[in-house]
């Protein structure tokens, strides 16, 4: 990916602010805009490849609506798109020894439950989910990290520590 001229600032996972300083939310917002169509294509491919994926996303949408979360920053930064992208990452990572946590053999209800269990048990502010990158080293941050290797996007970039806690304790 060529990042010349697309306003990406260096040190993407630095927890500093100020003019000219790299911020994770700034970089991720730019990357999310750049990769909108590629992420939609990946999600479409998941619906074709994994039988229960679409229905598990619907169950996730209902659960998120029940606890009052949505994709906008004002609604917690964790909505249907983030839920489905997280599930997509769990088809390639998230398990022990960085093996896939989710399997194509699971039903939609099993996919939904496994994703909820992942959110409940794994603190993504301490143990990041990094799919497709080996030997990933990052600075300590106070926000959740679920990084997609192909785009370099933290799909949970809109979440604050408070909204992440709300997701984890709302289970």
| d(C-alpha 33, C-alpha 95), whole Å | 29
Domains along the chain with CATH numbers = 25-169 (1.10.1410.10)
pTM above 0.85, yes or no: no
| d(C-alpha 28, C-alpha 63), whole Å | 25
| d(C-alpha 82, C-alpha 155), whole Å | 6
Across 135-159, average pLDDT: 78
SS3 assignment, position 54: helix
- Max Cα separation, the chain? 49
Residue-wise pLDDT tens digits, 14-44: 444 555 566 667 777 887 878 788 888 888 8
Can you list the alpha helix ranges (DSSP code H) found in the chain? 24-34, 36-49, 53-67, 80-90, 108-121, 161-169
Query: Which pLDDT does position 4 carry in this prediction?
Result: 37
Residue-wise pLDDT tens digits, 87-123: 999 998 877 777 888 999 999 999 999 999 999 988 8
């Amino acid at each position: 990916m060529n990042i010349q001229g697309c306003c990406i600032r260096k040190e993407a996972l630095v927890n500093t602010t100020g003019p000219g300083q790299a911020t994770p939310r700034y970089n991720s917002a730019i990357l999310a805009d750049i990769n909108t169509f590629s992420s939609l294509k990946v999600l479409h491919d998941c619906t074709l490849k994994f039988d229960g994926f679409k229905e598990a996303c619907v169950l996730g949408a209902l659960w998120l609506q029940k606890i009052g979360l949505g994709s906008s920053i004002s609604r917690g930064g964790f909505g249907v798109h983030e839920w489905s992208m997280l599930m997509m990452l769990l088809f390639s990572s998230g398990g022990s020894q960085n093996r896939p946590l989710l399997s194509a053999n699971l039903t939609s209800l099993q996919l939904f439950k496994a994703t909820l269990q992942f959110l409940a048990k794994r603190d993504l502010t301490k143990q990041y989910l990094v799919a497709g990158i080996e030997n990933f080293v990052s600075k300590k941050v106070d926000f959740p990290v679920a990084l997609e290797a192909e785009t370099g996007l933290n799909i949970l970039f809109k979440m604050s520590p408070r909204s992440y806690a709300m997701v984890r304790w709302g289970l």
